[in-house]
Structure 1
Amino acid sequence: MPEMYVVVRWPDGVTQRCYSPSTVVADYFAAGAEYAVAEFVERSRTALGIAGERVRDKYGFLCTGASAELARIEQAAAAYARVDGATVTVEALVDADGRVR
């Protein structure tokens, strides 16, 4: 499966490289886009859920990497749950070979 990374900047300026086992995340995020924290988490949940299922369809088991990445995203997002107007910026979509989309 062609893995991909979504590089994001959290409201406090910290960047995080988020893993996906599938390029499906490119259907849910755009480089340069800003998302409310809750929307970012929901999009991540949907995209990584689909990505994990694609791995299951191909290999017969769910991708634990996708589940672990979602847990990291949810943990990071929890810090901003009470911050009005907090947004996450997608800085880049990066293919496994390092090519930036």
Structure 2
Amino acid sequence: MVSTGITPSGIFHIGHIREILTGDMLTRAALDAGMEVEMIFIIDTADPLRKVYDFLAPEFENYIGHPIGAIPAPDGAGKPSEGGNYGEHFLSPFVEA
């Protein structure tokens, strides 16, 4: 079993893609070697917000330590919004692509 995953704590970047590709390459190599293998990709929205990132307003200080799936999404100005949650906000563009 190959298990890999990411936390959508901000805009998706090359590190997220590297994580996916590494898991995929290991899975393919194991299959090519005749092994029975399954890849599990986890998107973890239970991880806590660790800090107020540069793109977030200071109001997000109140959410440090809270799961990113349980805090509000940032609006266009980086402030907590009324709709959606933080994890889904950053995950949606990746899923849609």
TM > 0.5 fold call: no
Q: TM-score, normalised by structure 2?
A: 0.30
Give the number of the structure whose residues are more often strand, by fraction.
1
Q: Which has the higher contact order (CA 8 A, sep 6+)?
A: 1
Q: TM-score, normalised by structure 1?
A: 0.30
CA radius of gyration, larger in:
2
